[in-house]
């Protein structure tokens, strides 16, 4: 069921907010005090970079004291559990990808939170393509060369993934099925350590968001072979898609969104929604997000709730068919 703020709920939330010391500012501004933005992955990864870009603009616009706290581990679910247990006062938020929300809900047999019952959606931030990258130490430059390299020695058929049970992981296994190689995922605690191992050749290949790899690709630390879009990414027009390389079934986008704990007063949710939308639509922020591989797309809280419901319905049969479950 979609998460909607009905008129009755809005009145109830408003009544709760009247008792809160932050209410005076919540109607027109963010809560007073230090606001913590939880990121479920290490510093330097795509989610972390996007979050810091937006936070910097919100600070600039409002003077709010917002700090980023990286809580890596378990495919981003450590941060999500912390959000669930946080006070619903607007002082703890989370920016999370599909990996730690929809995909976690569908792949963990016992998840300590429910993304619909325990979180208040604020806004989608944007969508991103997935990327398949290889280490520059392999000595190959194209997807065709990489496939030949794999088939010359099947023991090489492994790839790092930024989170097990995530969209990037399934993207890698889909590639394996498409090229007839049993690619085995190797779990990492986010993009930053994966990029480090790709650069040094500790792992031959890796999957993640385009936002995780794009700047490192431009710097020569990794080599992106292809992306998952139906069309080339705005941020990477030089990068081919799997579709154009002859693999039309390897297609799909990921996304990032902001959440607050459930029962956060509606006035506070709406205040954050306004500031996130304003920040994401600022020309300098939009350029930074696009350059990093994220295509900005903001929503109302209700639109984001409906989007999450649709994504759960979209991926549930895919996960069921794969038989994958976290141990």
| CATH code, 96 | 3.40.190.150
35 with 66: CB under 8 angstroms? yes
Q: How many CB atoms lie within 10 A of CB 46?
A: 28
CATH code at 153?
Answer: 3.40.190.10
- What is the pLDDT, as a whole number, of residue 306? 97
Give the CA dihedral 190, 192, 197, 198, nearest 10 degrees.
100
Whether residues 39 and 118 share a domain: the answer is yes
Longest dimension (CA), the chain: 68
208 and 311, same domain (yes or no): no
Do 283 and 217 belong together in one domain? no
Instruction: Characterize the bridge pairing of strands 294-296 and 253-261.
Output: unpaired
Instruction: Round to the nearest angstrom and report the end-to-end CA distance of the chain.
Output: 28
**Is there a single domain that holds both residue 60 and residue 198?**
no
Q: What gap in Å lies between CA 134 and CA 150, rounded to an integer? A: 12
170-222 per-position pLDDT tens digit: 888 889 988 999 999 998 888 889 999 999 999 999 999 898 899 999 999 99
**Does residue 122 sit in the same domain as residue 259?**
yes
Domain count, the chain: 2
Q: For residue 3, what pLDDT is reported? A: 42
Regarding whether 298 and 196 lie in a shared domain, the answer is no
Give the chain's residues under pLDDT 50: 1-28
With the C-alpha atoms ordered 185, 204, 236, 215, is the resulting torsion angle positive or negative? Answer: positive
Q: State which residues form the domain around 74.
A: 7-126+255-322
Asked whether residue 136 falls in the same domain as residue 62, the answer is: no
Measured between alpha carbons, how far is residue 144 from residues 114, 226, 233 in Å? Answer: 42, 11, 21
* 90 and 155 assigned to the same domain: no
Strands 92-97 and 253-261: antiparallel
Within-domain flag for 270: yes
Domain final residue, candidates 227, 245, 268 = 227
Give bridge partners of residue 159 from the DSSP assignment. Answer: 185
Cα distances (Å, whole numbers) of residue 85 to 65, 80, 198: 21, 9, 36
Q: Which residues contact 322 (CB under 8 A, 6 or more apart)?
A: 170, 173
Q: Tell me: do 25 and 118 sit in the same domain.
A: yes
169 in a domain, yes or no? yes
Q: Parallel, antiparallel, or unpaired: how do β-strands 92-97 and 34-39 relate?
A: parallel
Q: Are residues 48 and 25 in the same domain?
A: yes
Residue closest to 319 by CA, chosen among 40, 128, 74, 108: 108
- Same domain, residue pair 18 and 121: yes
């Amino acid at each position: 069921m979609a998460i909607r703020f009905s008129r009755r709920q809005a009145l109830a939330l408003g009544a709760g907010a009247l008792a809160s010391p932050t209410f005076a500012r919540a109607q027109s501004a963010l809560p007073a005090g230090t606001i913590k933005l939880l990121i479920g992955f290490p510093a330097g990864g795509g989610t972390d970079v996007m979050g810091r870009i937006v936070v910097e603009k919100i600070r600039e616009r409002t003077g709010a004291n917002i700090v980023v706290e990286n809580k890596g581990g378990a495919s981003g679910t450590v941060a999500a559990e912390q959000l669930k247990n946080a006070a619903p006062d607007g002082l703890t938020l989370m920016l999370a990808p599909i990996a730690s929300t929809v995909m976690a809900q569908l792949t963990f047999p016992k998840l300590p939170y429910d993304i619909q019952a325990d979180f208040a959606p604020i806004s989608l931030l944007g969508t991103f393509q997935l990327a398949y990258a290889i280490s520059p130490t392999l000595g190959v430059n194209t997807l065709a060369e990489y496939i030949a390299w794999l088939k010359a020695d099947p023991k090489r058929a492994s790839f790092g993934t930024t989170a097990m049970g995530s969209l990037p992981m399934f993207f890698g296994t889909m590639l394996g099925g498409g090229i007839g190689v049993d690619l085995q995922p190797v779990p990492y605690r986010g993009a930053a350590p994966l990029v480090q191992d790709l650069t040094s050749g500790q792992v031959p290949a890796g999957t993640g968001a385009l936002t995780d790899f794009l700047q490192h690709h431009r710097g020569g630390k990794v080599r992106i072979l292809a992306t998952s879009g139906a069309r080339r990414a705005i941020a990477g027009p030089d990068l081919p898609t799997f579709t154009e390389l002859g693999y039309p079934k390897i297609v799909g986008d990921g996304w990032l969104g902001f959440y607050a704990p459930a029962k956060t007063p509606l006035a506070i949710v709406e205040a954050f929604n306004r500031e996130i939308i304003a920040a994401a639509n600022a020309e300098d922020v939009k350029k930074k997000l696009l350059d990093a591989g994220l295509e900005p797309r903001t929503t109302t809280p209700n639109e984001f709730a409906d989007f999450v419901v649709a994504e759960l319905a979209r991926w549930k049969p895919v996960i069921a068919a794969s038989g994958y479950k976290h141990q």
